[in-house]
Chain A
Amino acid sequence: MSVLVFIDQAEGHIKKSSFEAASYGAKTAELSGTFAEAIVIGQMKDDLSELGKYGIKKVHAISNEALNNFDSKVYTTLIQQLVESTNANTVIFSNNTSGKSIAPRLSIRMKAGLVSGAVALPDITSGFIIKKSVFSGKAFANIKIHTEKKIITLNPNAFNIIKGNGVAEIVEFTTTLPAYSIEVTETNKIVGDVPLSEADIVISGGRGLKGPENWGLVTDLAKLLGAATACSRPVADIHWRPHHEHVGQTGLAIAPNLYIAIGISGAIQHLAGVNRSKTIVVINKDPEAPFFKAADYGIVGDAFEVVPKIIESIKKMKSLS
């Protein structure tokens, strides 16, 4: 009857979104009077007992180098085997590329109702109801799962990590390796950068920046704050910036703690992907730009003058503290 959390990894390191999933899983377990366990697939570098700090009691590791390559079919088979052997009732994923590939498959195998993109803990006062993001962040839907077994994928940055003192027990889950249906021939990581979906702070530029040669404003500010960079759709369409930076209704939907929009008008399709951000700052020279209506803080001014001053001021603040 336990809760099982899928811990996603990259190059042997646990992703930030998986710590959120672990905290969420532990809280969900607490609500239903049970405990949370985790599954980790592949060869890891991180110390898995650390997951205890996030409320995980036991970690089932399948430490096999060969499993570092992702295949939704293989991962689904392994997770399903563990679900059967531990009799887990609820499985939690992060709603990232891995979670989105595995959870739907697993829901068919387990005959479990799936809610993807959860933003809050389940409400179990009458049935099992989960709030999820819909209309690309413009609204929420409360979804009831009717089945005994349940699968939830948690939106990144939607649930705060809860860190305590526990130590998780690590057990090796031994099983035969399922056959791969996909061959991973190449992986290109953008090294050193913060993945946009998980970033705490995002600095985003729009057409108001006039051209790719001016992006230093965005990247300098991002570097200073340890932030990820993003852009509006036209900026990616005209190839000033790579496609994966495009946020909005038809790009990536994000919910960082801080979103700073520079030279972006704030069209409804752009807002849809960013309006779940906790604090929104808009820098735009047009006082009528619609983005100001969705912002917490704003400066009406020329980005080319304002942003360098902001950078200086942050540097000053950092050198004082």
Chain B
Amino acid sequence: MLPIIEDWWLFFNYNFTIMKILVCISKTPDTTAKIAFADNNTKFASDGVQWIINPYDEWYSLVRAIELKEADPTISIHLINVGGPESEPIIRKALALGGDEAIRINCDSNDSFNVASQIANVAKQGNYDLIFTGKETIDFNGSSIGGMLAELLDLPFVSHVTKFNIETNMAVIIREIDGGEETNKAAMPLVISCQKGMAEQRIPNMKGIMGARTKPLKVLDPVDVVSLTSIVSFDLPPAKAGVKLVSPENPEELVRLLHEEAKAI
């Protein structure tokens, strides 16, 4: 009789499982923050810096997840961040925008492999149908977490996604490629990295902000991971020599300079 009972459970799961989306959010300095380094150029000088949700995570992946939930309210959106307690304000903001619950893995985020491993460890237990990341963070510009996660979880991965829809249980995706775009179809579960085009930036409303205070934010201890890379130091690019101004009456001079001096045309 056992097989029949098992089949029944499959049927139950198939019909009543709600869709779960895991949205990875990272904390980055505000885009106007002064970029300077401390401790002998080994650390980002974060004094007085405003922190924001990485724009690709917020504007595109989180808002698209929220739009999917607005179309199908049974969808549940979980947020995940790898970072210290100083990440909590940006996690609350993401909850205010529309995440249902959040997980923070309490550890440093200096190595992509470590971050991806921490998230994968949680994702393995969470049965997520979709995992969204931003195409990169605006501070480290690594573009690595999505692909690493997909590999750790043995899932398909589509990067640089500009449009995402679900049609009869399949993900229909438009992604940017060099000099064009491509339409992909993939089964879920699936990992994607999101960029411009997916959705439009939103501002949390009062109801969202009030509601976010009581939404669950679980803090987990990290698992042991050996980092594969480390940051040795930072440098700033050399300053420009200063602009050479050319009279608007004499644009031929600009063309000459670009041709003879800069050798750029």
Listed in ascending order, the chain A residues whose CB lies under 8 Å from chain B are: 8, 10, 15, 17, 70-73, 76, 95-98, 100-105, 107-109, 111-117, 129, 131-147, 181-190, 193-198, 201, 225, 236, 243-244, 246, 249-251, 253, 257-258, 268-269, 272, 275-276, 278-282, 292-302, 305-306, 309-310, 313-314, 316-317
9 of the cross-chain contacts (CB-CB < 8 Å) are A105-B151, A144-B229, A188-B181, A244-B181, A250-B31, A257-B264, A299-B246, A299-B251, A317-B255
B32 CB → nearest A CB, Å: 5
Query: Given the complex, which residues of B lie within 8 Å of A316, measured CB to CB?
Result: 252
Name B252's closest neighbour in chain A (CB-CB).
A313
| Interface flags, B111-151, vs A, CB<8A=1, else 0 | 01100100000000000000000011011111111111011
Within the complex, which residue of B237, B241, B265 is in contact with A139, where a contact is CB–CB below 8 Å?
B237
Name B200's closest neighbour in chain A (CB-CB).
A237
B203 CB → nearest A CB, Å: 15
State whether A276 touches B237 (Cβ < 8 A).
Answer: yes
Instruction: Provide the main secondary structure of the chain B interface.
Output: mixed
Query: Given the complex, which residues of B lie within 8 Å of A257, measured CB to CB?
Result: 264
Query: Given the complex, which residues of A lie within 8 Å of B259, measured CB to CB?
Result: 317
Query: Given the complex, which residues of A lie within 8 Å of B229, measured CB to CB?
Result: 113-115, 143-146
Q: Determine whether B196 belongs to the interface, using a CB cutoff of 8 Å to chain A.
A: yes
Query: Given the complex, which residues of B lie within 8 Å of A111, measured CB to CB?
Result: 228
Query: Given the complex, which residues of A lie within 8 Å of B228, measured CB to CB?
Result: 107, 111-114, 145-147
State whether B176 touches A97 (Cβ < 8 A).
Answer: yes
State whether B186 touches A182 (Cβ < 8 A).
Answer: yes
Query: Given the complex, which residues of A lie within 8 Å of B158, measured CB to CB?
Result: 72, 101, 182
Instruction: Provide the main secondary structure of the chain A interface.
Output: mixed
Q: Determine whether B235 belongs to the interface, using a CB cutoff of 8 Å to chain A.
A: yes
Query: Given the complex, which residues of A lie within 8 Å of B197, measured CB to CB?
Result: 243
Give the distance in Å from the alpha carbon of A150 to the alpha carbon of B237 in the complex: 26
A32 CB → nearest B CB, Å: 18
Q: Given contacts A142-B232, A295-B243, is CB(A258)–CB(B262) below 8 Å?
A: yes
State whether B182 touches A186 (Cβ < 8 A).
Answer: yes
State whether B180 touches A188 (Cβ < 8 A).
Answer: yes
| Interface flags, B170-195, vs A, CB<8A=1, else 0 | 00000111111111111100000000
Q: A181-B187, A298-B246, A310-B254 are in contact. List 7 more A-B contacts (CB 8 A).
A: A108-B152, A146-B228, A281-B254, A297-B243, A299-B248, A306-B251, A314-B255
Within the complex, which residue of B29, B150, B234 is in contact with A142, where a contact is CB–CB below 8 Å?
B234
Q: Determine whether B56 belongs to the interface, using a CB cutoff of 8 Å to chain A.
A: yes
Give the distance in Å from the alpha carbon of A146 to the alpha carbon of B230 in the complex: 8
Within the complex, which residue of A244, A296, A306 is in contact with B248, where a contact is CB–CB below 8 Å?
A306
Q: Determine whether B257 belongs to the interface, using a CB cutoff of 8 Å to chain A.
A: yes
Within the complex, which residue of A140, A225, A297 is in contact with B254, where a contact is CB–CB below 8 Å?
A297
Give the distance in Å from the alpha carbon of A226 to the alpha carbon of B1 in the complex: 73
State whether B151 touches A108 (Cβ < 8 A).
Answer: yes
Q: Given contacts A141-B234, A182-B184, is CB(A279)–CB(B262) below 8 Å?
A: yes
Within the complex, which residue of A137, A143, A194 is in contact with B231, where a contact is CB–CB below 8 Å?
A143
State whether A313 touches B151 (Cβ < 8 A).
Answer: no
Within the complex, which residue of B141, B182, B196, B258 is in contact with A133, where a contact is CB–CB below 8 Å?
B141
Question: Of A15, A182, A184, A281, which is in contact with the most chain B CB atoms at under 10 Å from its CB?
Answer: A182
State whether A144 touches B237 (Cβ < 8 A).
Answer: no
Query: Given the complex, which residues of B lie within 8 Å of A147, measured CB to CB?
Result: 228
A139 CB → nearest B CB, Å: 5
Query: Given the complex, which residues of B lie within 8 Å of A292, measured CB to CB?
Result: 243, 245
State whether B243 touches A105 (Cβ < 8 A).
Answer: no
Give the distance in Å from the alpha carbon of A73 to the alpha carbon of B148 in the complex: 11
Query: Given the complex, which residues of B lie within 8 Å of A142, measured CB to CB?
Result: 231-235
Within the complex, which residue of A72, A195, A280 is in contact with B159, where a contact is CB–CB below 8 Å?
A72
Query: Given the complex, which residues of A lie within 8 Å of B252, measured CB to CB?
Result: 309, 313, 316
> Which are the 9 A-B pairs with shortest beta-carbon distances?
A301-B248, A104-B147, A195-B179, A113-B228, A181-B156, A186-B183, A108-B151, A258-B264, A189-B180
Within the complex, which residue of B145, B157, B177, B196 is in contact with A236, where a contact is CB–CB below 8 Å?
B196
State whether A114 touches B151 (Cβ < 8 A).
Answer: no
State whether B262 touches A297 (Cβ < 8 A).
Answer: yes
State whether B160 touches A250 (Cβ < 8 A).
Answer: no
Within the complex, which residue of B139, B236, B243 is in contact with A296, where a contact is CB–CB below 8 Å?
B243
State whether B264 touches A298 (Cβ < 8 A).
Answer: no
State whether B258 touches A140 (Cβ < 8 A).
Answer: no
State whether A72 touches B147 (Cβ < 8 A).
Answer: yes
Name A301's closest neighbour in chain B (CB-CB).
B248
Query: Given the complex, which residues of A lie within 8 Å of B159, measured CB to CB?
Result: 72, 97, 100-101
